[in-house]
Amino acid sequence: MITIQGVSTIHGEQTNLYIPSKEEKIISAEGLIVLPAVIDPHVHFRTPGLEYKEDWRTGAKAAIRGGCTMVFDMPNTKPPTFTAMLLEEKKALIDLQLKEVGISLRYDLFFGADKQHLNEISRVKHSVIGIKVFMGCSTGNLVIDDDESLHAVFSIAAKENMLVAVHAEDEHLIRKRKANFSGKMDYPVHSSIRNIEVATTAVAKAIELTRRYGTRLYILHVSSAEEVTLIKKAKREGLPVFAETTPHHLFFDTSAYETLGGRAVVNPPLRDKSNHEALFAAIHDKTIDTIGSDHAPHTLDEKSKIYGECPSGMPGIEFMLPLLLNAYHQKRLSLEQIVLLTSGRARDIFNIPAYDDCVLVDLNKIVTITKTESKCGWTPYAGQTLQGWPIHTILNGRCYSF
């Protein structure tokens, strides 16, 4: 049994908690606040094939540090997760890696929609958390850029009662705009090529497909005011549409290219600061349901390459909760909103059964970020001083303390 003494709830009540465990442990938690452990619905832990960027040993450590005990991993690996067999092989590799570090991180996997493998979708309906559709190319080769395949995915998903998660950037528009900007090799051009219209075109299309087939739709990494407007309207209509944003779209804007260079390159790209207000407002009015780290590590060597060769993505899982707690101190979010964003809504949307995992945070602890558990060895948040940090993460009856 793990006994947690004198911890506060987010409403300020002191309480003791008793968590079933093989360990006998007493934690004096005066001054700490208990939150449900973070569920991160969007990570790229890179197994199989890209483990030089990240693997589940290091990814799990970064997760636990960030108060997170459950992740949903994306299929754009090498090879991509687009057959039932590749899915089983991936799970076996993950289990092996988690066993090596003795962390029983909870996880589920997204299945990759691929034109050549549409018939595999029904085969995995009970073994995945949903289907991931890249409507525009990102890291890897997974993309669905023709209407026929898109309709097929939404229709199969509706029939099998599977959720579809979309990377909503329109591939045709990206290609067209890339040609317009050819020759420009500075990192900020990334935000101009993949502009907000690229995102809204795809979001509108995905919502239209949901309207037609009734498919449950999860819109990943919402980054702009215009996407929020479309999603709000879809929700008002009563469509089963859910929305995620990310820490980098909430806390970085296009000015980050000046300090981070290629490390600021992500898909969808960073936007002008004017979008922050709309994203926070969308959290307040529940248009945005969840936050996903979109933890997408690449090596520093890769991120130092010139524009065009520099891969998109940045790590984020470890600092997502501290960034949100820091935003609480800035009065931009309440603790209730943080709980909904980091676990409550994900639990409902993805039908996750209850378990006892929690994270005990010290709202007063102030730390300047200098290092990370991620295998890529860097974080875009280095040098930032944040107030509010996990002190103990409890996963499946085991306590990890920092």
Binding site for ligand DOR (CB under 6 A): 44, 76, 138-139, 167, 266-267, 296, 311-313
Scan for tokens 């005011």, then name that residue.
225
Q: Which amino acid does the sequence have at 229?
A: T
Q: Which is nearer to ligand DOR, 66 or 136 (CB)?
A: 136
- Binding partner of residue 77 among Zn ion, ligand DOR, none, CB cut-off 5 to 8 Å per kind: none
Least separation, in Å, of the C-beta of 334 and ligand DOR? 29
**Which residue minimizes CB distance to Zn ion?**
294
Residue 326 binds: one of ligand DOR, Zn ion, none (C-beta under 5 to 8 A by kind):
none
Least spacing, CB of residue 226 vs Zn ion, in Å? 20
Q: How many CB atoms lie within 10 A of CB 234?
A: 24
Would residue 383 be called left, alpha or beta, if left means φ above 0 and alpha means ψ between -120 and 50 degrees? left
Nearer to ligand DOR, 138 or 374 (CB): 138
- With CB under 5 A as the contact rule, the residue among 294, 318, 357, 373 that binds Zn ion is 294
Which residues, 199 to 218, sit near Zn ion by CB under 5 A? none
User: What is the closest distance, in whole angstroms, from the C-beta atom of residue 294 to ligand DOR in the complex?
Assistant: 6
Quick one: what does residue 138 bind among Zn ion, ligand DOR, none, with the CB cut-off 5 to 8 Å set by partner type?
A: ligand DOR
Nearer to ligand DOR, 8 or 139 (CB): 139
Helix 225-236 vs helix 196-213: angle between axes, to the nearest 10 degrees?
A: 10
**Closer by beta carbon to Zn ion, 253 or else 294:** 294
H/E segment holding residue 321: helix 320-329
User: 399: alpha, beta or left, given left = phi > 0 and alpha = psi -120 to 50?
Assistant: beta
Looking at beta carbons only, is 139 or 200 nearer to ligand DOR?
139
Q: Choose, from 73, 289, 294, 362, the residue flagged as catalytic.
A: 294
Q: Are 205 and 279 in contact (CB under 8 A)?
A: no
Cα torsion 383, 70, 38, 248: sign? positive
What are the tokens at 86? 């590749």
Residue placing its CB nearer to ligand DOR in the complex, 76 or 97: 76
Kind and range of the H or E run holding 231: helix 225-236
Q: Which of 27, 17, 71 is nearest to 400 (CA)?
A: 27
Which residues, at least 6 apart from 12, have a Cβ–Cβ distance to it below 8 Å?
Answer: none
65 binds, among ligand DOR, Zn ion, none (CB under 5 to 8 A by kind): none
Residue 328, Ramachandran bin (φ over 0: left; ψ between -120 and 50: alpha; else beta): alpha
Query: What would you measure as the largest C-alpha separation in the chain, in angstroms?
Result: 64
Nearest residue (beta carbon) to ligand DOR? 313
User: For ligand DOR, which is the closer residue by CB, 76 or 287?
Assistant: 76
Which range in 22-30, 55-63, 228-236, 291-299 contacts Zn ion by CB under 5 A? Answer: 291-299
Q: What is the DSSP string of 74-124?
A: -S-SSS-S-SHHHHHHHHHHHHHHHHHHT---EEEEEEEP-GGGGGGTGGG
CB of residue 44 vs Zn ion: minimum separation in angstroms?
6
Q: Which stretch binds Zn ion (CB under 5 A): 83-91, 177-185, 294-302, 368-376?
A: 294-302
Among candidates 205, 94, 231, 110, which has minimal Cα distance to 163?
110
- 3 state SS of 60: helix
Q: How far is the CB of 313 from ligand DOR (least distance, A)?
A: 3
Does residue 289 belong to the site contacting Zn ion (CB under 5 A)?
no
Min CB(263)–ligand DOR separation in Å: 11
Task: Kindly give the interhelix angle for 147-160 and 196-213, rounded to the nearest 10 degrees.
Answer: 50
Active site residue 356: no
- Count CB-CB contacts under 10 A for residue 291: 32
Least spacing, CB of residue 76 vs Zn ion, in Å: 8
**Stretch in the footprint of Zn ion (CB under 5 A) among 80-88, 196-204, 287-295, 380-388:** 287-295
Active site positions, annotated: 294
Residues that bind Zn ion (CB under 5 A): 294
